[in-house]
Chain A
Amino acid sequence: GAVVSQHPSWVICKSGTSVKIECRSLDFQATTMFWYRQFPKQSLMLMATSNEGSKATYEQGVEKDKFLINHASLTLSTLTVTSAHPEDSSFYICSAIEFQETQYFGPGTRLLVL
């Protein structure tokens, strides 16, 4: 299957700092990527849909100024958590569609804000 990578896998930062997470499709081009957030023992929550060359589409309740998404190329999307606070601590997962509507997921990034 298709491979999606994420970097970094772990981030620990101080409150108030910004954190950037990269998502790459390694062996295919992805015009659309997705960013999810997952709290412990819960399902995935879609945060936004990232479209190459255009603005991301955010889900209701997700602050677009807080979670900046950039999809500058067909293989790279970035999520920047600006001025992170402890409540932003979570597991962030990106995904991309490769073939026949199948979404492949990255390994995730665990963010801990102190």
Chain B
Amino acid sequence: AQKVTQAQTEISVVEKEDVTLDCVYETRDTTYYLFWYKQPPSGELVFLIRRNSFDEQNEISGRYSWNFQKSTSSFNFTITASQVVDSAVYFCALRGNNRLAFGKGNQVVVIP
């Protein structure tokens, strides 16, 4: 069975601070995909990144960066210099065996 754990439920930061969201996963599959999605108050899930299990290269996209460490089964997400528009729920997800398992999500509140 697949499992995704996002331990921090709600995180509040002051604008321009960095925030890191932790994601730990469990799977028995050797091939799997990891994702991060953003869900703003409007409700729509916005795809942010996909990483497959064979690609441990970290990635940076603007103010967003991701750190994938297979040895610790973690796929952490950092927002640098946070902005109010970053306020949303962020979900980490794992796809394997034709199923997408979500974590419980991190509610990020950026205070101006």
Contacts and interface: CB of A to CB of B under 8 A. Distances in A.
Given A105-B45, A107-B44, A108-B44, 15 more contacts: A1-B47, A43-B91, A44-B45, A46-B100, A91-B43, A93-B45, A100-B50, A101-B33, A101-B50, A101-B52, A102-B33, A102-B47, A105-B37, A105-B44, A106-B44
7 contacts: A42-B104, A91-B43, A93-B43, A93-B45, A100-B33, A101-B50, A105-B37
| Chain A interface mostly | strand
Contacts of B37: 105
B102 interface: yes
Interface in B44-72: 44-45, 47, 50, 52
Interface string B87-112: 00001000100111011110100000
B42 interface: yes
A96 to B, nearest CB: 12
